[in-house]
Structure 1
Amino acid sequence: MNVKPHDQQNMSIFESRVDTCKVLSVEDDQDYQDALINALSTLNYDGKDVEILTANSAAQAGVIIAMNPDISVILLDVIMETDDAGLRLIDTIRDGIGNDLVRIVLLTGQPGSAPADDIMNRYDIDDYWSKPDLTQDHLQTIILSNLRTWHHLKDMKEARHGMQMLIESSQRLATKRDILGYTRSILEEVSQLLNIKKGGIVCFSDTADGEIEQAIIVAASGELSGYAQQKLGNVFDDHFLLQSISDACKEKKHVFIEGYSILLFSNKELEERVCISLVKLDRALLPNELNLLQVMCENINVGFRNVALHSKLTELAYFDPTSGLHNKNWLTREIKNMSPVDIPCAKLLMLHLEDLAHTEMVFGSKFVDQLIKSLCSHLHSYFTDTIHIVLVERDTLAVLVYASQVYDEKSLEPIIHASLNIENATHTVDVIIGSIEIDQFKHYEAEQIISAGESALEQARRKGLSFLVYCEKLASAIIDRYALLTDLREAVINDQIEIYLQPKVSLEHGELVGFEALARWQHHSGNFIPPDQFIALAESCGLIGKLDQNIMRRSCLAVKALVKEGIIVPISVNVTGSEVVRPDYFEHLAALLHDLEIDPQLIELELTESQLIEEKATICKQLKVLKSNGMKVNIDDFGTGYSSLAYLSTLALSTLKVDHSFVWRMEDSTKDWQILKMIIDLGKALGLTVIAEGIETVAQRTQLTELGCQQGQGYLFSRPMPLDQVVNWAEKYSKDLGHTL
């Protein structure tokens, strides 16, 4: 009688093959939805097609998710039919539907309205991005990373599911964690299940050669207990029995013959081998015993898979499966277990490979795998002392070095600009390095040391450095920066950052022609934080959108206040490039002007030259609309950015603002004077107003007037001042006009 082996049963939901990865985009802005679909149209993950599902509302997404439990990644807009529709959908997915596997990437067009830290703490999401920050390359990298994570989590969930089945069917088998120990337990469990006293054996056979006589007995009990580690052919000379075992292997089935039960377990985890359990019988098996045996056999087969997966997961806990390198868990353990003898000479170098995501997109993942492998060989050849290489992220390596040598940027130059041989061609990789001397921070926990190395690396990237050593000064600066960031977040959310207004005047006649709104933050300590410090901080942490909105609203309210006092001049507002490229930026700006009843001619936008060039294709149309409505767009810091001037004739611009550096140097530098004259002549030739900033002396004003510059601003006329001082200044300036200037 034959018992159908587990491999012949229907495959479970976890074992089904998936040739398509599903990504769901939940977005109520159809234009942005189309842009996402287009950006992901070329995506391919591990040879699998990526199917893009779309939903225009949270309600529609809930239905799609319920019908597609195998969705891997969800791109979810925060604000849709209601302000919290996206957030409520997260609770539905996790708690209502019970899907804890799908990766949820939250997208927002208004980062300030849903701060990242608050959302990450309150909701079970995996990533959070501002829409303007997502280029096609960045979006594809995020999706590929989350697909990879989803598959790893799916594998682990499969292991847990199989382990649960095994525990329910046989608690004792579940205690075994290695293949050899597990196979030896099979004999005990089957014998106990069937109440067999005579015993049996367990052996492995290689299915490639089919010579069953060569199978090695790995476990034996009862009457056969003395035959462990012998060949099957040396123990049994019964041709019929050996032939029956051979037939079971070929046909992959259990076989019952007189006096014996031959149980066969064939599983891909056994690496082309089969496990044979031979039990001596002194009676025929009853029907209910056959049913119990079938369940046991199914559990055993599942057990083989899970024991192998457990071994794999144990390996994955300390090794990266693709590169074979140690991973971050291993590094943490290694630092924790580091001996006192090794600590004084131990150094941790964190290496970031620049533009690796772009390289992978162009050349493919296999090329990047080869690149990392080649870089590891390069590192081993460079460091003559003992090192361990750890893969922290796809683009970040950690090198644990045991050496007395002190490394600096010069000595690490062969690593910073590494020339690697890949596929018989030289490929140069730019590497940024953050370093920490472990002995100097031995009071740190292992996790803190790794974080310190990562912080040094991040600071190096932020400052544009190739190499940076973590030190107490840097540690203090990081702590201070984090504290300042916390205060800044509170100040932005509570709209505590004010505007100061600096006048713009006509250089020829002296009359007031406008103001520039400048952000000013008075910290709760009483000190003013420099704008270049807190604005850069806001840009790095996703607060710049909310800050820009606050400054624009305050500027509009300032316009209304000045108009009531009879001061009808425009206020120019600096706008960051990341905000201007938001699909809804100009729509929201128009709505704000309408709600506050502001004449568009009284608000001007100031963008830097670099921002205009980078976002030309995106904002060209919107700038034309603004100009048609009477709003002016000014180029700030002109002359310090790109050398190409072609954009001046294609963008709807109104004003060139000459950077203060030219003004300050024009009296001492002939070249700066000539550049200044060229900019002014260029502006006049294109019909643009030219304004110079940073005017501090009468001599500077005179020279600029002679050169034909129409407008200016600077300390000569006034420092930036709060709104409540502007009216008094304007009245006094109007009375004094023409007397002192």
Structure 2
Amino acid sequence: MDLPYEKKSLKAISKKRNYCKVLSVEDDPDYQEALMNGLSALNYDGKQVEFLTASSASEAATVIAANPDISVIFLDVVMETDVAGLRLIRTIRDVIGNDLVRIVLLTGQPGMAPVDDLIGQYDIDDYWCKSDLTQAHLQTIVLSNLRTWEHLSDMKEARHGMQLLLASSQRIASKSDITDYTHSILEEIGLLLKMSSGGIVCFFHPEEEHLEKALIVAACGEFSSHIHQYFLSAIQDGILREAVELANTQKSHVFQDGFSVLYFSNKELEDREYMVVVKLDRNLASNEINLLQVFCENISAGFRNVALHNKLTELAYVEPTLGIHNKNWLVREIRNMFSWEREKATLLMLYVEDLAYTESVLGSKYCDQLTLSLYDYLNHFFDKTVDIALLERDTLVLIVYDDQDYNEASLENIIHTSIEVENSLHSLDLTVSLVKFSDFPNYEPEQLVSVGKSTLERAKYESVSYLAFSETLASEMFGRYELLKDLREAILDNQILAYFQPKFSLKDNTLIGFEALARWVHKNGQFIPPDQFIALAESSGLIDKLDQQMLRQSCKAINTLKNLGINVPISVNVAGNEIIRPNYFENFKRLLAEEGISNEMIELEITESQIIEEKTNINKHLSNLKTLGIRVNIDDFGTGYSSLAYLSTLSVSTIKIDHSFVWRMEESEKDWEILKMIIELGNFLGLSVIAEGIETEQQKTHLLALGCEDGQGYLFAKPMSLDDTISWVKAGL
């Protein structure tokens, strides 16, 4: 920041102290007159010396109180009483608190008290016997003490000024808002200079605006009514206008009689120039000029700090591309809410469906404009105050301040809306979650935003357009969170076990393999259904560890069964997004090698829906598995909406018919036809077909009649632990 300084401007108004006062306290009128006569010809650097007199200690106390700037006091020791003079010294030093005035003690009784004792006890600066004072001595004593007093006064003023300066600098340093900061500047300059007339702070952008566009952002005193006005149109004083124009032209401070204009430039951070105008009813003393110049350094640093704070605030609280407030800002706003505001506030979280696809087709610039248009639409939609923040590229968060109970019907024009983008209408479908603050008064701001996001994800998962957060939903979320903690612990401690369900040939009941199924008995003894913890593992990133454990346990089971003379493969479930990981095959082959298992003894099962989700990349990975001799089964076939064309390109060996078709085939002609079609499709493509969930002999018979030759289900055996599987095998042998 520039800090120009015009030294020659100071000379006209810098000035020294041009007068001083001397007090003589003497109860002998003759000696008083002689003392005044002796000092009448005193010349102190051409300065005016005013002589004051008092004839008693009590009168002197009154004169001293009325003239705190007395420089030298000649004081008779004995007046009303023998110690009246000494008592007056105590009053001056301890009661009035004047430690600068020079006190010269006079006595007409030499030897009355030891000089050193008096000076030490009473803070006396000099001690003379009246009979020893000649005119030459008297003038020398006065001049010496006047110079000492002036030097000490300057030092005290400087020290006091620096104390004021330090306090002022500390106070303005705490301001980070430009409005608060500029008002604080005027307040502190007022304290430093005892300014009573008034002051102004204005700024403008020199690259874009002329001085007439300098906006007054702070004002005090006689200028208070001009705040938020343009300087040159508001201020009519010609001399003041000229001083400001001169400061702008010279890019420096300008000091004139009655005015000081301080110039500051902050181009490097915000391209602004600031003017601080101070009007005084007097000229500045030299020490005040020095203080003001030092204070300008602090003001300059303060402008820089405010600009930096604004930049950091913008980075911390504003999304830079769109200029919309972000999550940090929203959390801060919620934290700063009054209790009555929270009672009325509702959080709405809006997900713009297919925005990523729109961006891939129409470009990011179009989507930026779409988001801004939606932002404007939402601002106009709500009658009451609304705060809007951008949580993610495709997700907006609103805080609506009103008493209305919103529901899906009242938000229909938001959930399904059309907005204008680049002069054409764009239809939008939004998914909305709602959190009413008054229903959850103890939630922290971060919690409110978090549950809004969780509720939104739940709505997207359930394919609904609107979902409100409730105590019931909160309980479910908390339960899942607690279950997730236990799941992490269970996987870490290998508490989840592989259970094995045999697969049979439906033609001759020959054992053809097993499927490994994850089973979890919670530490509290409760059985946790697989559809609960497997979905939780997938959503939390634990599924890879769980799949690895099931694979390793299956390998051990293969070796154990082999020792019993049972050589059949075991199929293990694996998530589709795990197969496409770069290191999956290396880890897979290494694990099989560690356990001594040949590739053909392990089969992998992937659900049809997961194959569809990963269809862009998954087939090349399936081909790699097929090359290794590993069979891949499509699990839950018939539930994932895969096309026949896509199915024909997959490197898979088996399709497993979902149990729902098996269970309903005798009740629904439609399911019977679907089942028949799936079996014929598998046979046509040369794939093995296995039916899941066979529970009755009649179902088995029907499946055989339709051409399905393999199956599994409770008709043959339930999933069993390895120990139970061993017992089951031995019993069958």
TM-score, with length taken from structure 2: 0.65
Secondary structure, in 3 states, of the residue corresponding to 2:501? strand
Give 1:272 shift: 5.3
Match of 1:32? Answer: none
Match of 1:334? Answer: 337
| Counterpart Cα distance in 1 of 2:401 and 2:200 | 47
Q: What per-residue deviation string (whole Å, max 9, x for no partner) do you get for residues 188-226 of structure 1?
A: 877999x99999965547667766899979768xxxx87
The structure showing larger relative contact order (alpha-carbon pairs under 8 Å, at least 6 residues apart) is: 1
Q: What per-residue deviation string (whole Å, max 9, x for no partner) do you get for residues 334-391 of structure 1?
A: 363338xx65xx65443333344555565566645544454455446655x6453432
| 1:606 aligned onto 2:609 | no
Match of 1:246? Answer: 245
Match of 1:667? Answer: 666
Deviates more, 1:459-468 or 1:688-697: 459-468
- 1:370 and 1:550, CA in 2 relative to 1: closer, same or farther beyond 3 A? same
| Counterpart Cα distance in 2 of 1:670 and 1:684 | 21
Identity rate, percent: 49
Match of 2:172? Answer: 173
Match of 2:75? Answer: none
Secondary structure, in 3 states, of the residue corresponding to 2:703? helix
Match of 1:140? Answer: none
Q: Is the 8 Å Cα contact of residues 200 and 223 (structure 2) preserved in structure 1?
A: no
2:337 maps to amino acid: E
Q: Which runs of 5+ in 2 are unaligned?
A: 7-164
Q: Is the 8 Å Cα contact of residues 213 and 242 (structure 1) preserved in structure 2?
A: no
Match of 1:560? Answer: 559
- Residues 375-394 of structure 1 aligned to structure 2 (within 5 Å): 375-376=374-375, 378-379=377-378, 386=384, 388-391=386-389, 393-394=391-392
Give 1:630 shift: 2.1
Q: Is the 8 Å Cα contact of residues 319 and 390 (structure 2) preserved in structure 1?
A: no
Q: Is the 8 Å Cα contact of residues 386 and 401 (structure 2) preserved in structure 1?
A: yes
- Residues 90-105 of structure 1 aligned to structure 2 (within 5 Å): none
Match of 2:532? Answer: 533
1:323 maps to amino acid: I
Q: Is the 8 Å Cα contact of residues 491 and 497 (structure 1) preserved in structure 2?
A: yes
Bigger-Rg structure (1/2): 2
| 1:626 aligned onto 2:625 | yes
Give 1:524 shift: 1.7
Q: Is the 8 Å Cα contact of residues 195 and 279 (structure 2) preserved in structure 1?
A: no
| Counterpart Cα distance in 2 of 1:357 and 1:616 | 18
| Counterpart Cα distance in 1 of 2:214 and 2:575 | 75
Secondary structure, in 3 states, of the residue corresponding to 2:467? strand
Q: What per-residue deviation string (whole Å, max 9, x for no partner) do you get for residues 266-320 of structure 1?
A: 235887553145799979989xx98x98775444223123335557878999988
- Residues 403-442 of structure 1 aligned to structure 2 (within 5 Å): 403=403, 406-442=405-441
Secondary structure, in 3 states, of the residue corresponding to 1:337? helix
Secondary structure, in 3 states, of the residue corresponding to 2:545? helix
| Counterpart Cα distance in 1 of 2:211 and 2:411 | 58
Secondary structure, in 3 states, of the residue corresponding to 2:516? strand
Deviates more, 1:576-585 or 1:254-263: 254-263
| Counterpart Cα distance in 1 of 2:439 and 2:259 | 68
Match of 1:644? Answer: 643
- Residues 695-714 of structure 1 aligned to structure 2 (within 5 Å): 695-714=694-713
- Residues 263-282 of structure 1 aligned to structure 2 (within 5 Å): 263-268=262-267, 274-277=274-277
- 1:215 and 1:533, CA in 2 relative to 1: closer, same or farther beyond 3 A? closer
Q: Is the 8 Å Cα contact of residues 341 and 401 (structure 2) preserved in structure 1?
A: no
Secondary structure, in 3 states, of the residue corresponding to 2:611? helix
Secondary structure, in 3 states, of the residue corresponding to 1:515? strand
Match of 2:589? Answer: 590
Secondary structure, in 3 states, of the residue corresponding to 2:170? coil
Q: What per-residue deviation string (whole Å, max 9, x for no partner) do you get for residues 500-549 of structure 1?
A: 11111112222111000001011122221111111011111111111111
Give 1:601 shift: 0.8
| Counterpart Cα distance in 1 of 2:724 and 2:410 | 57
Q: Is the 8 Å Cα contact of residues 332 and 446 (structure 1) preserved in structure 2?
A: yes
Q: Is the 8 Å Cα contact of residues 460 and 467 (structure 1) preserved in structure 2?
A: yes
| Counterpart Cα distance in 2 of 1:429 and 1:217 | 43
Q: Is the 8 Å Cα contact of residues 434 and 469 (structure 2) preserved in structure 1?
A: yes
Aligned length, in residue pairs: 559
Give 1:590 shift: 0.4
Q: Which runs of 5+ in 1 are unaligned?
A: 7-165, 735-741
| Counterpart Cα distance in 2 of 1:330 and 1:203 | 30
Secondary structure, in 3 states, of the residue corresponding to 1:390? strand
Secondary structure, in 3 states, of the residue corresponding to 1:419? strand
Secondary structure, in 3 states, of the residue corresponding to 2:711? strand
Secondary structure, in 3 states, of the residue corresponding to 2:324? coil
Deviates more, 1:225-234 or 1:623-632: 225-234
Secondary structure, in 3 states, of the residue corresponding to 1:510? coil
- 1:615 and 1:4, CA in 2 relative to 1: closer, same or farther beyond 3 A? same
- 1:698 and 1:177, CA in 2 relative to 1: closer, same or farther beyond 3 A? closer
Secondary structure, in 3 states, of the residue corresponding to 2:523? coil
Q: Is the 8 Å Cα contact of residues 666 and 673 (structure 1) preserved in structure 2?
A: yes
- Residues 711-722 of structure 1 aligned to structure 2 (within 5 Å): 711-722=710-721
- 1:177 and 1:592, CA in 2 relative to 1: closer, same or farther beyond 3 A? closer
- 1:175 and 1:483, CA in 2 relative to 1: closer, same or farther beyond 3 A? closer
| Counterpart Cα distance in 2 of 1:378 and 1:258 | 57
| Counterpart Cα distance in 2 of 1:606 and 1:633 | 6
| Counterpart Cα distance in 2 of 1:379 and 1:304 | 36
| Counterpart Cα distance in 1 of 2:644 and 2:529 | 31
2:324 maps to amino acid: S
1:636 maps to amino acid: D
Give 1:728 shift: 2.5
Deviates more, 1:696-705 or 1:639-648: 639-648
1:333 maps to amino acid: N
Q: What per-residue deviation string (whole Å, max 9, x for no partner) do you get for residues 607-628 of structure 1?
A: 1223334434434333333323
Give 1:573 shift: 0.5
Give 1:496 shift: 0.7
Give 1:683 shift: 2.4
| Counterpart Cα distance in 2 of 1:183 and 1:272 | 14
Secondary structure, in 3 states, of the residue corresponding to 1:398? strand
- 1:622 and 1:254, CA in 2 relative to 1: closer, same or farther beyond 3 A? same
| Counterpart Cα distance in 1 of 2:266 and 2:627 | 72
Q: Is the 8 Å Cα contact of residues 198 and 223 (structure 2) preserved in structure 1?
A: no
Give 1:176 shift: 4.6
| 1:398 aligned onto 2:403 | no
- 1:253 and 1:631, CA in 2 relative to 1: closer, same or farther beyond 3 A? same
Match of 1:323? Answer: 324
Match of 1:676? Answer: 675
Q: Is the 8 Å Cα contact of residues 217 and 227 (structure 1) preserved in structure 2?
A: no
2:717 maps to amino acid: S
- 1:732 and 1:201, CA in 2 relative to 1: closer, same or farther beyond 3 A? closer
Secondary structure, in 3 states, of the residue corresponding to 1:334? coil
Secondary structure, in 3 states, of the residue corresponding to 1:338? helix
CA RMSD of aligned residues (A): 4.4
Match of 2:15? Answer: none
TM-score, with length taken from structure 1: 0.64
Match of 1:693? Answer: 692
| Counterpart Cα distance in 1 of 2:683 and 2:615 | 22
Give 1:265 shift: 1.1
- 1:599 and 1:5, CA in 2 relative to 1: closer, same or farther beyond 3 A? farther
2:490 maps to amino acid: A
| Counterpart Cα distance in 2 of 1:263 and 1:401 | 44
2:699 maps to amino acid: Q
- 1:571 and 1:248, CA in 2 relative to 1: closer, same or farther beyond 3 A? same
